[in-house]
Amino acid sequence: DISLSELHSGFIWLGLDVEEGRMRELLCSIDRFGRQKISLDDWRTWLKQAGGEVEDEGDTPTPSGALIKQISHGSPDAASTPIPKVPDDKKHEIKITLEEPSSWSSPIWTSSSVESVSVLQPLGRPELEFSLRAMGLEVGDKAKRICLGHVLSSASHSAMILKISHSPDSSGWFHLPGQGSSPELVDAALQTYFPNPSKYRQLWHCPAMPSDANSEEGDSQRDSVREEEQREEQADLFLWEPVAPPGFKALGLIASATGTEPAHEALRCVPESWVIPAAAPSMEWSNSGLGGQEGALWTSTDSKMRLMSFGLDPPASGKLFKDDFTLQEAEDACGFLS
């Protein structure tokens, strides 16, 4: 298997000058299993699909001339606009903050227990922009708010989403919120530091079921009837693990009621170097005893994000190194891409 840096070295040896961002795109498209490494089988499969010259299984796959051009410059149908960069002298003005969601989605899934647990998606406030044209001012909330993963209803009171904003230095005594902020700088920070996953892997499927293993049976017939009246049939639950681009990490999971892979835009990743270990999570729900592949849903206990995680045993979880910081502080403390 070869890593991103080894793949890049191989292309340089072939005389191909490929930018780092393009290398990440190639690795994600070739890596079929999200391991952030490429095997010979991965390379052979991708090369055949992309137009490489492979005569038989014993040959070493080699790229054709047309494919070399595609590797160097990207697909002719792909957008050629490079990812914008945040200037070094502006990094101290880009703020990353955990904040409360403005609302929650309708439950994506709900367990069938009397004390039910639901999976929710946190929703950020829409971008607010307004003008005081008489004063020549353009002000408002031009921040971006991103979802890092879905949350269990038991933790929704303290869960957070991530806000990326630009707070320019103010030289005057009077400064309105959002005045002078740059949406372009916010977009540059979003694209550079918080990419979408390259794809998702289906982590677990809990089939629809009429009851919950976590509900205790009543001692009397009356208790049993009352419990059954409060239950509703539990729908299918699919859990998806994001596959982050090299150098980044997905902190949470995505849930759905169908087996269709979620949209890449449903979640964003963070720089791996900004993530530190979090305390062991607490178990909120389990399908133990109900048949099928056993699994449990967990919630982090010491992070304001309170993201959902999955596993039979307490899964390892991570959190951002701080709840409120600037890009400059993050790079000074943690670096960016290792």
Q: Rounded to two decimals, what is the model's pTM?
A: 0.68
pLDDT of res. 215: 44
Residue 159 tokens, joined: 């869960």
Residue 202 tokens, joined: 């289906």
pLDDT of res. 55: 47
pLDDT of res. 139: 44
pLDDT of res. 64: 52
Residue 128 confidence (pLDDT) above 50:
no
Residue 106 tokens, joined: 């309708």
First to last CA, the chain: 19
Q: Of residues 41 and 85, which shows the higher confidence score? A: 85
pLDDT tens-digit map of 208-257: 865 444 444 444 444 444 444 444 567 899 999 999 998 999 999 999 99
* 63 contact partners, CB below 8 Å, separation of at least 6: 47, 52, 53, 71
- Residue among 203, 208, 211 at smallest CA distance from 227: 211
Residue 68 confidence (pLDDT) above 80:
no
**51-60, 110-119, 162-171: lowest mean pLDDT where?**
51-60
Residue 146 confidence (pLDDT) above 60:
yes
pLDDT of res. 138: 42
For residues 82, 88, 90, 94, the Cα torsion angle rounded to the nearest 10 degrees is 80
For residues 165, 171, 173, 178, the Cα torsion angle rounded to the nearest 10 degrees is -20
Q: Mean pLDDT across the stretch 114-133?
A: 67
Running DSSP on this structure, what letter comes out for residue 260? S
CA separation for the pair 130, 117 (Å, rounded) = 39
Residue 72 confidence (pLDDT) above 80:
no
Q: Are the C-beta atoms of 270 and 193 separated by less than 8 Å?
A: yes
Q: Any idea which residue has 């087996």 for tokens?
A: 259
Residue 75 tokens, joined: 């697909």
Residue 163 confidence (pLDDT) above 80:
yes
pLDDT of res. 250: 95
> Is the Cα dihedral 78, 81, 87, 92 positive or negative?
negative
CA angle 226, 231, 236 (to 5 degrees): 165
For residues 104, 110, 111, 114, the Cα torsion angle rounded to the nearest 10 degrees is 80
Residue 179 tokens, joined: 């005045």
CA separation for the pair 275, 321 (Å, rounded) = 6
For residues 332, 333, 337, 338, the Cα torsion angle rounded to the nearest 10 degrees is 120
pLDDT tens-digit map of 272-300: 999 999 998 999 999 887 767 899 999 98
How far is the CA of 285 from the CAs of 31, 74, 269, 295, in angstroms?
33, 45, 26, 9
pLDDT of res. 168: 85
Residue 145 confidence class, pLDDT cut points 50, 70, 90: very high
Q: Exposure of 257 by Cβ count < 10 A (0-12 exposed, 13-18 middle, 19+ buried)? A: middle
pLDDT of res. 337: 61
Residue 37 confidence class, pLDDT cut points 50, 70, 90: confident
**56-70, 114-128, 175-189: lowest mean pLDDT where?**
56-70
Q: What stretch of H or E contains 275?
A: strand 275-277
pLDDT of res. 338: 45
